[in-house]
Amino acid sequence: TRPLHSGDLAVGGVPLAELADRFGTPSYVVDEGEVRARARAWRAALPGADVAYAGKAFLSRAMIRWIEEEGLSLDVCSAGELELAALTGFPAERIVLHGNAKSPADLKAALRLGVGRIVIDSVGEIASLAALMPPGARQKVLVRVVPGVAAGAHAAVRTGVEGQKFGLPVATGEAEDAAERILGQPRLELVGLHCHLGSQIAGLGPYVTAVRRLVPLLAALRDRHGVTLPELDLGGGFAIAYRDGDPVLDPETYATRVTSELALQCERFGLPVPRLTVEPGRWIAGPAGVALYRVIAVKSTGGRTFVAVDGGMSDNPRPALYGVRYTVRLVGRQSRAADRATTVVGRHCEAGDILAEDVRLPADVRPGDVLAVPAAGAYHLSMSSSYNLVGRPPVIAVTEGRARLLVRRETLEDLRSRDIGD
């Protein structure tokens, strides 16, 4: 974003208040240039690695095209995400399919389209996938392992430890057992290990620890089963800043520390260094997005000031799910009023529908004003709902002073058309 003399803010060279007037609110604004620049940052930091954009953060046909043009791979979690990628023409061999409960439809779509990698998440999935393989075919797979590393900003997103639904633990021998079972399936080709530690991880320590626990497993598979796996996928979870002062993970620092540790551990065990894969999603999409709202009401009660906007937990459920709080900016006009502590709340019938708590906003904020919430490019539209039958917002791309609609607003007619009963 850049400030304008009018008191407005611009993204991609387009004033945010102008976008609110043109496309309505709530709306998501995505800066194409920033998405591309952030994708390039990972490619530059890890030129010898595979960088797979985690589509669960935000996926649209335009986003898929940008990712492909920047040379990234794509990580998907369902047949829906996979079919959208195929519709857009993304190369299937550069797609990785994840999921702890892949349905037969998910697996059949992956095999039909020829995805490059499928991540095995449970022992039962091994036989299920092998049974779906056509005669003479062979699918490359990774096995998702749990290295026993606690990392992530909230308990609900800490996926590198035992006792949660993802992966197979290293410490109990389950990961090695799964690898052995895969090696016994002639229609499956085990090419590597996969792990994902969590989300909003700002420090490098968890990733270094994961390397130190996974390389010995690679060595054990070589020694006991005679196979040297060529790939190691360390997942994503890289932190971004939602508010000023939040810690951020830097790709270059990550690359230097993790690749050096990987080389050191592989030398220790006499292994060739596997090809590394990382899966940034939020880090690429999150800071490139801004959510726009219009103020509906201002209320002072119980010693607090509440500013209610025309969106909320239906377009951003993260505050309600994880207790996350955002920063908020008034855009479109200058204010000479003093700032005061304000809680920005949504329109939905939940007391927990809070977007930003005790943020500083001008005391003269009034109905009709436009508020902007930065770092809104990831896990907003992808996790949105039609709660209270409020349609989901549109997505607008901005670049070099131009704006275009990527995803249209969900209308009342869209919502009515799904209801066929009487």
Q: Is the C-alpha dihedral spanning 206, 207, 208, 214 positive or negative?
A: positive
For residue range 72-128, list pLDDT tens digits in order.
999 999 999 999 999 999 999 999 999 988 999 999 999 999 999 999 999 999 999
In the predicted model, is pLDDT for residue 344 greater than 80?
yes
Question: 215: phi > 0 → left, psi -120 to 50 → alpha, else beta; which?
Answer: alpha
Report how far apart, in Å, the C-alpha atoms of 217 and of each of 7, 95, 181, 225 are.
Answer: 57, 25, 15, 11
Amino acid (one-letter) located at 30? V
Q: What is the pLDDT of residue 101?
A: 85
Token pair for residue 250? Answer: 């830097």
Pick from 124, 303, 276: which is nearest to 195 by CA?
276
Whether 349 sits among the annotated catalytic residues: the reply is yes
> How does DSSP assign 72-138, residue by residue?
-EEEE-SHHHHHHHHHHT--GGGEEE--SS--HHHHHHHHHHT-SEEEE-SHHHHHHHHHHSPTT--
**Could you tell me the pLDDT band of residue 322, with boundaries at 50, 70 and 90?**
confident
Placement of tokens 């043009």 in the chain: 69
Rg (Cα) of the chain, in Å, rounded?
23
In the predicted model, is pLDDT for residue 161 greater than 80?
no
In the predicted model, is pLDDT for residue 185 greater than 70?
yes
The model's pTM: 0.92
Q: What is the pLDDT of residue 194?
A: 96
Beta sheet of 9-11, edge-to-edge order: 2-3, 9-11, 14-15
Would you say 81 and 109 are in contact if contact means Cβ atoms under 8 Å apart?
no
Q: What is the pLDDT of residue 199?
A: 87
Residue 272: Cβ within 10 Å count: 12
**Could you tell me the pLDDT band of residue 163, with boundaries at 50, 70 and 90?**
low
Ordered domains of the chain (ranges, CATH): 2-29+287-417 (2.40.37.10), 32-284 (3.20.20.10)
In the predicted model, is pLDDT for residue 14 greater than 50?
yes
Secondary-structure percent of the chain, ordered helix, strand, coil, rounded to 5:
35, 25, 40
Q: What is the pLDDT of residue 157?
A: 44
Catalytic residue among 77, 195, 266, 349: 349
In the predicted model, is pLDDT for residue 134 greater than 70?
yes
Token pair for residue 403? Answer: 């704006």
Report how far apart, in Å, the C-alpha atoms of 22 and of each of 2, 99, 100, 288 are.
Answer: 20, 39, 41, 20
For residue range 206-223, list pLDDT tens digits in order.
999 999 999 999 999 999
Please name the residue ranges forming H helices in 163-204: 174-183
Pick from 293, 342, 338, 289: which is nearest to 313 by CA?
293
The 3 state secondary structure assigned to 333-381 is CCCCCCEEEEEEECCCCCCCCEEEEEEEEECCCCCCCEEEEECCCCCCH
Q: Are strands 2-3 and 9-11 parallel, antiparallel or unpaired?
A: antiparallel
Task: Work out the burial of residue 67: count CB atoms within 10 Å of its CB; fewer than 13 is exposed, 13-18 middle, 19 or more buried.
Answer: buried
